[in-house]
A and B are shown apart, each in its own frame.
Chain A
Amino acid sequence: MSRLLGAIRGQKLALVGLAVLAFFGLLAVFAPWLSPHDPEEMDAPMLPPTGSHPLGTNDIGQDILSELFYGARFSLLVGFLSAGISTVIGVVLGVISGYYDRLGFTIMRVVDVFLAVPRFPMMVFLAAFLRPGLWTLVLFFVLFGWTRTTRLVRSQILSERNNGYVEAARMVGASDFRIIGRHLLPSTVPIALVRLIVEFQHVILAESGLSFLGLGDPTVKSWGTMLHYAFGYPTIFISDVWVWWAVPPGVCLTLVVLALTFTGFSLEERANPRLRRAWKRGRITDTPEHGEERDGAKSVRLPSKIHAVRPRTTT
C-alpha cells in the first residue's frame, strides 16, 4: 500500500488529479454551507447572473450555483457507490472464476450475456418498477459494471495461480480459502483500484447521459439533470442562457473525469506488470547517432549493419 502511495506521490499529474477530486469532494460535503440559496427555493425564472445569483436562475427560478454544489453530491455519490460495489463484486467473482474452472466457465457465460444485453430497456424497466432515485441508478450501474472487472481479475488469477508461491502453499497443505485470501486476493488490488477509477468515470458520464435523455430521476439535483433541463429548454439556441446554465455542470463533469484519469494513470503504470518492468528498468534508451557522445563513450557507425557501442558499464 505504501509503495502504491509512493508511486502516486512521485507523479505530479496524479497529484493534480487528487487535488481536483478532493476539491469536488469537499464541495459535495459542504454544499449546504457553501450554497448561497436552498436549491429548491424559487425566485424569478431565467435570471442572468447577478449579485445574489452568481450563475443566474434556471427555468423555475432556482439558483444555479446552489444546484451545482448539490449536484456534486449526487453525481459523486452515485459514481462512488456504483464503482465501489461493482468492483467488489467483480473481484470476488473474478477470483472464484479464475481459481475454480467449472464455476469459472459458467460465470464467463453469464458475463457474455450481461455484456450483450442492451442497457436501454433495462434502464426503463428498472426505473418503472423501482422507486426512483439513487439506489435504482446504483443497481443499474452495478448490474452492468461488474463484468469487465471480473474478466480482468480472472485473467490475472489464471496467470498467478500457477506461480511458485501458490504451488508451495498448496504443498504445505494450505486450504483453498487461505490461498485465495492470503495470496491471490492481494495481487488483485492494483487491478481493482484501476478498475474502480475507470468504472467511477464511466458511471459519472453514463449517469449524466441517462439524465440528459430523461431516464433518470428529474427531480433530483445532479449535474446530469441540470444539463437535461438546460439543453431541453426551447430557446437554448437562440439565447445565451446555455453559457451560465449548461456550461458549468458540463465543465464540472469533465473536470472530475479528467481528475480521475490523472489519478488512475499512474496507478495503471504500477498495476500493469509489463509497465512495471519497463518502469523499473529506468529510462528507455535509444540508438545513438554517429559520433554522439554518451556516458563517456563515443559512438561510431561502422559501414556494415553492425554497430559497436561501448556504453559505460554501471550497475
Chain B
Amino acid sequence: MRVAQYLITLFVLLSLNFFLPRMMPGDPLSYLLGDPSTDAPILLTEEMRENLLEYYGLNKPLAEQYKDYLLGLARGDLGWSIYYNAPVSSLLLGRLKWTLFLSGTAAVIYITLGILLGAFSARKRGTKTDVGLLVSVFSLGSWPPFFLGMLLIIFFSFKLDAFPIGGAQSPGAAQAGGFERVKDVLHHWFLPCLSLVLTHLPGIYLLTRNSMLGVLGEDYVRTARSKGIREHRVLLRHALPNALLPIVTTIAMRFGFMIMGTMFVEVVFAYPGMGTLIYQAGAARDYPLLQGGFLLTMAFVVFFNLAADLLYARLDPRVRRA
C-alpha cells in the first residue's frame, strides 16, 4: 500500500517535471542565440526561428511533446540537451559524480562530527562546555552559505594563496595520473567541503543533543548507571543507539536534498556539480536537461524518503514488532 502511494506521487511528480520548465517564461532559443554582451547578435528571421523550433521538437503541440517525454522515459532516453548539444544522460552522470563526491564526503564528516559533539554536549548539559560548544558550533554555522563561501575564497584563496579559487581540478591535472591528481582534487575540494560542513553541522549537532537529552532521562539509562556500568559504555552502548533512531530518518531525508542543497556552494566555488548544471539549464530554459536534472533530484528525494521510512521501521524494535 505504501509503495502504491509513492507510485502515484511519482507520477504526479513526473508530470510536474515536464510542465514546470515550460512554465518558466521565455524559451530555449534566447540563450541558444548568444550572449548579447560578448558577440554579434544572431539575426534570426521568423522562418529561421520556426526551423530551429522544429529541429528541437519545440513546436509540436504540448500534448504530443508530453507523450514523447513519457515514452522516452520508458525507454530510458532522457533526451538531448539544447544548450550543451549533448545527450542529457551523459551530462547528468558527468556532473553527478562531483556532487556526490562533495556532498557525500561533507555529509560523512558533519554527521560524524555532529553526532559526537552532540552526544558530548548532551552529557555535559548546562555546563560551560555545553554552552561553549553550542555557541561555537552555531557561530560557525549560521553564516549564509554563499557568504561563508565567498569569505573563504577571499581569505584562503586570494589573500593567503593557499587554495584555488574554484573548480574541481586544475586544467591538465586530469592527465597527470595517480597521486598528483588525487592531491589536486583534494586541494580543490577542501574549501567547498569546509563550507558545507560548517553550514550543516549545527543541525545534526542540535538534533543529536536533544535526542540524547531525551534518552539520558529515560529509565533504562538510570538502570544501567545504577548497575555500575562505566559511563562511556552507558553513553555508547545504551544511550546513543536509541538517541540515533530519530536522527537516522532526518539524515536519510537530508541525503534526499543533497543535490539542490549544495547548489549555492557549487555556484560560489564554480564546482562542476549537478547544482550548477541545473542552475545553468534553468537560466537557458534547456527543457530536456531541466527535466532530466529534476527527475534525478526528485528520484533522490523519493528514494531517500522511502529509505528513511523503511529504515526506521527496521531499526525501531517497537515498530518492528507491530
Q: Contact residues of A with B, CB < 8 Å?
A: 13, 109, 112-113, 115-122, 124-125, 128-129, 205, 208-209, 212-213, 227, 231, 236-237, 242, 246-247, 250, 253-254, 257-258, 261-262, 265, 268-269, 272, 274-275, 277-279, 281, 283-287, 301, 305-307, 309
Interface-located stretch among B49-57, B66-74, B95-103, B227-235: B227-235
A118 close to B260 (CB less than 8 A): yes
B23 interfacial by beta-carbon distance below 8 Å: yes
**Complex interface: chain A residues within 8 A of B214 (CB):** 272, 274-275, 277-278
A113 close to B126 (CB less than 8 A): no
Q: Do A124 and B302 contact each other (CB < 8 Å), given the known contacts A113-B12, A287-B225, A307-B228?
A: no
A278 to B290, CA, bound (A): 48
List the count of A-B residue pairs having beta carbons below 8 Å apart.
Answer: 154
**Complex interface: chain A residues within 8 A of B282 (CB):** 120-121, 124
**Complex interface: chain B residues within 8 A of A301 (CB):** 228
B143 interfacial by beta-carbon distance below 8 Å: yes
B298 interfacial by beta-carbon distance below 8 Å: yes
**Complex interface: chain A residues within 8 A of B62 (CB):** none
Q: Contact partner of B228 among A109, A212, A306, CB < 8 A? A: A306
Interface residues of B in 1-58 (CB under 8 A from A): 5-6, 8-9, 12-13, 16, 20-21, 23-25
A122 to B6, CA, bound (A): 23
**Complex interface: chain A residues within 8 A of B225 (CB):** 285-287
Chain B nearest CB from A267 CB (Å) reads: 12
Give 14 CB contacts A-B under 8 Å.
Answer: A113-B12, A115-B305, A116-B302, A117-B13, A118-B278, A122-B20, A128-B24, A208-B144, A227-B144, A258-B142, A265-B206, A275-B213, A307-B226, A309-B226
A277 close to B217 (CB less than 8 A): yes
A232 to B238, CA, bound (A): 52
A116 close to B228 (CB less than 8 A): no
A272 to B131, CA, bound (A): 19
Chain A nearest CB from B45 CB (Å) reads: 26
Interface-located stretch among B80-88, B147-155, B179-187: B147-155
Q: Contact partner of B144 among A254, A262, A269, CB < 8 A? A: A254
B59 interfacial by beta-carbon distance below 8 Å: no
B138 close to A115 (CB less than 8 A): no
A109 close to B217 (CB less than 8 A): no
A261 close to B210 (CB less than 8 A): no
Q: Contact partner of A124 among B24, B151, B215, B305, CB < 8 A? A: B24
**Complex interface: chain A residues within 8 A of B143 (CB):** 250, 253-254
A209 close to B9 (CB less than 8 A): no
A200 to B251, CA, bound (A): 22
B168 interfacial by beta-carbon distance below 8 Å: no
Q: Which 5 A-B pairs have the closest CB atoms?
A: A278-B217, A307-B228, A274-B214, A257-B142, A250-B147
**Complex interface: chain B residues within 8 A of A258 (CB):** 138-139, 142
**Complex interface: chain A residues within 8 A of B273 (CB):** none
Q: Do A125 and B151 contact each other (CB < 8 Å), given the known contacts A117-B20, A278-B213?
A: no
A112 close to B305 (CB less than 8 A): yes
A212 close to B290 (CB less than 8 A): no
B216 close to A237 (CB less than 8 A): no
**Complex interface: chain B residues within 8 A of A268 (CB):** 206, 210
A261 close to B202 (CB less than 8 A): yes
**Complex interface: chain A residues within 8 A of B302 (CB):** 116
B24 close to A125 (CB less than 8 A): yes
Which chain B residue has the least Cβ–Cβ distance from A16?
A: B135
**Complex interface: chain A residues within 8 A of B229 (CB):** 287
**Complex interface: chain A residues within 8 A of B23 (CB):** 121, 125
Q: Contact partner of A284 among B24, B206, B217, CB < 8 A? A: B217
Chain B nearest CB from A125 CB (Å) reads: 5
**Complex interface: chain B residues within 8 A of A278 (CB):** 213-214, 216-217
**Complex interface: chain B residues within 8 A of A274 (CB):** 211, 213-215, 217
Interface residues of B in 244-265 (CB under 8 A from A): 260, 263-264
Chain A nearest CB from B92 CB (Å) reads: 14
B204 interfacial by beta-carbon distance below 8 Å: no
A236 to B157, CA, bound (A): 13
**Complex interface: chain B residues within 8 A of A115 (CB):** 301, 305
A121 close to B21 (CB less than 8 A): yes
Q: Contact partner of A120 among B6, B12, B278, CB < 8 A? A: B278
A174 to B231, CA, bound (A): 50
B294 close to A272 (CB less than 8 A): no
A272 to B217, CA, bound (A): 13
Which chain B residue has the least Cβ–Cβ distance from A119?
A: B260
B267 interfacial by beta-carbon distance below 8 Å: yes
Apart from A120-B282, A213-B267, 18 more pairs, CB < 8 Å: A109-B5, A113-B12, A113-B16, A116-B9, A209-B146, A212-B144, A237-B158, A250-B151, A257-B142, A257-B144, A258-B139, A258-B142, A265-B206, A272-B210, A278-B213, A278-B216, A285-B225, A307-B228
A275 close to B210 (CB less than 8 A): yes
Contact pattern, B 114-128, Cβ under 8 Å of A = 1, otherwise 0: 000000000101100
Q: Do A307 and B217 contact each other (CB < 8 Å), given the known contacts A231-B150, A250-B143?
A: no
**Complex interface: chain B residues within 8 A of A118 (CB):** 20, 260, 278, 294, 297-298
B228 close to A121 (CB less than 8 A): no
**Complex interface: chain B residues within 8 A of A246 (CB):** 147, 150
B145 interfacial by beta-carbon distance below 8 Å: yes
A284 close to B298 (CB less than 8 A): no
Q: Do A287 and B267 contact each other (CB < 8 Å), given the known contacts A120-B278, A209-B146, A250-B151?
A: no
**Complex interface: chain A residues within 8 A of B12 (CB):** 113
A191 to B238, CA, bound (A): 28
Q: Contact partner of B290 among A113, A121, A262, A286, CB < 8 A? A: A121
**Complex interface: chain A residues within 8 A of B138 (CB):** 258, 261-262
A269 to B305, CA, bound (A): 27
**Complex interface: chain B residues within 8 A of A237 (CB):** 153-154, 158
